[in-house]
Amino acid sequence: MAKLTRDDVLKLAQLARISLSDDEVTEFSEELSAILQYVEQLSAVDVSGLVSTNQVTGLTNVMREDSIKDYGYAPLDLLKNVPKTQDNQLKVKRMIG
Residues 15-74 that bind other proteins (CB under 8 A): 15, 17, 54-55, 57, 59-69, 71
> What's the CA gap between 34 and 47, in Å, rounded?
23
From residue 41, give the alpha-carbon distance in Å to each of 35, 62, 68.
11, 36, 49
Closer Cβ to other proteins, 23 or 68, answer by number: 68
- Nearer to other proteins by Cβ, of 23 and 51: the residue is 51
- Packing angle, helices 22-39 and 6-15, rounded to 10: 90
Interface ranges with other proteins (CB under 8 A): 15, 17, 54-55, 57, 59-69, 71, 75-76, 78-79, 81, 86-97
